[in-house]
Structure 1
Amino acid sequence: MTSAPELTVIEVPVSDTRVEPLLRELGDEYSRRYGRDAHAELARYPDEEFTAPHGGVLLLLVEAGEPVAGGAFRRYDPTTAELKRIWTHSAHRRRGLARRVVAELEREASDRGYRRVYLTTGPRQPEARGLYLATGYTPLFDTEADPETIGPLPFEKHLAVQERTGKALAQ
């Protein structure tokens, strides 16, 4: 019986060549779901917003040297990190990788002093909506309304400060 491959979390700049497949597949998927080219939206923010010290980092989960999941965060305001570009390669979905990416991004954001995490997802991404609800995010919209009438669906999660170490923990 073979064991599951080892997954490693690494921090890389947006310019790292291993990020390109993530952004390409994410842009292709968003373009299919929304019927318009989404690649420009993914390139809207300068790379510097996803690197220290500007409050962002890109994390990849790497299996056998290949990216299988990842995400990023950027500074939204002085106490809030905004999660962006959460992605799992289509061949590796339904394995809990997105949950791990979100947890790693939250941990890194809290290590950088953020007390809140904010994010939005699109109305045609029910699996993302389910992920954020399942991982403790509070919807900042009416969950009974038709998502198509809302537009981007905002969520937040507050981080609590641990007294002894001063590090924030997901609440």
Structure 2
Amino acid sequence: MHDYCIRPAGPEDLDGARAVMLDTVYRDFATGYVPRWHGDIVDPATAYLAPDRHLLLVALDGEDGEVVATAALDSRGPAHPPNPRAVAERYPSGATAQLRRVYVRAEHRRRGLARRLVAELLAFAAADGGYRAVYLHTDPSVEGAEAFWRSLGTVVLDERDRGAGGQGIVHFDVPLPGPVPAAGPGRGPVTRPARAGTSRSLTAGDPRGALPARSCAPRPRRPTGR
């Protein structure tokens, strides 16, 4: 069975993560790369590594150590426009954990990897103490995307039901694991998993998943010549 390790991304992972993201938007999405939508792909360090309440996960192939999947979370709610006003009002920034960039290279799909990555993000959101909801949207034209998210969350708005005025996007609510804490946004404990591994939450994944995940330390940096 293929082996992977999952960890919070460090600077040494960003080139690999960016490659997975860019390949996905160009190969799977009809829009390709759009700067106003995909700025976090170009600068994932600012988007996900710097803020304490944000997280970028990477999955590394256990055979060659290459990044083969990504998953991210940030505290920005869906903006209006382009998203419908009702969705933006339901999921305000600061109180909403938005799931982003859950991308798996085609040759590594259908192995439970995306499900494990999402479980890690949900555990992180629950530990934050300030997130009141988890939101994401997906393009149903991407093969397997809608079915995957329907297995984890609830549709709050399907733009295909809105006629020509919508973008055809499906908006989802995903339940936070455990009880929702009473603290306001940002007031609860912030527990970003240690850079050296994710052993705290690797057992939080769906037990039905097929992934034999393990904690992993960052790859050593290659020496650079002077």
- Shorter-normalised TM range: 0.7 to 0.9
The correspondence for 2:5, drawn from 4, 8, 11, is 8
Q: Which has the higher contact order (CA 8 A, sep 6+)?
A: 2
Q: Which amino acid aligns with 1:38?
A: Y
Q: Secondary structure at the match of 1:29?
A: helix
Which residue matches 1:72? Answer: 72
**CA positional deviation for 1:87:** 0.4
Matched, 1:42 2:38: yes
Q: Which amino acid aligns with 2:145?
A: A
Q: Kindly indicate which of the two structures has a greater share of residues assigned to strand.
A: 1
Q: TM-score, normalised by structure 1?
A: 0.76
Q: Secondary structure at the match of 2:123?
A: helix
Instruction: State percent identity of aligned pairs.
Output: 26
Q: Give the Cα–Cα distance (whole angstroms) in 2 for the partners of residues 50 and 125 of structure 1.
A: 24
Which residue matches 1:127? Answer: 144
Q: 1:123 to 1:6 in 2, by over 3 A?
A: closer
Structure 1 unaligned residues grouped into runs of 5+: none
Does the aligned pair in 1 maintain the 2:21–2:70 contact within 8 Å? no
Q: Secondary structure at the match of 1:18?
A: helix
**Within-5 A mapping of 1:12-161:** 12-13=9-10, 16-30=14-28, 33-34=29-30, 36-40=31-35, 41-43=37-39, 47=44, 48-64=46-62, 65-76=65-76, 77-113=93-129, 114-135=131-152, 137-142=153-158, 145=161, 150-151=166-167, 152-159=169-176, 160-161=178-179
Q: Give the Cα–Cα distance (whole angstroms) in 2 for the partners of residues 72 and 38 of structure 1.
A: 17
Q: Give the Cα–Cα distance (whole angstroms) in 2 for the partners of residues 79 and 101 of structure 1.
A: 21
Q: Give the Cα–Cα distance (whole angstroms) in 2 for the partners of residues 67 and 29 of structure 1.
A: 17
Q: 1:70 to 1:37 in 2, by over 3 A?
A: closer
Q: Secondary structure at the match of 1:49?
A: helix
Structure 2 unaligned residues grouped into runs of 5+: 77-92, 182-187, 190-203, 205-226
**Aligned Cα root-mean-square deviation (Å):** 3.1
Q: Give the Cα–Cα distance (whole angstroms) in 1 for the partners of residues 163 and 110 of structure 2.
A: 23
Q: Give the Cα–Cα distance (whole angstroms) in 2 for the partners of residues 20 and 142 of structure 1.
A: 29
The structure having more radius of gyration, on CA atoms, is 2
Q: TM-score, normalised by structure 2?
A: 0.60
Q: Which amino acid aligns with 1:116?
A: A
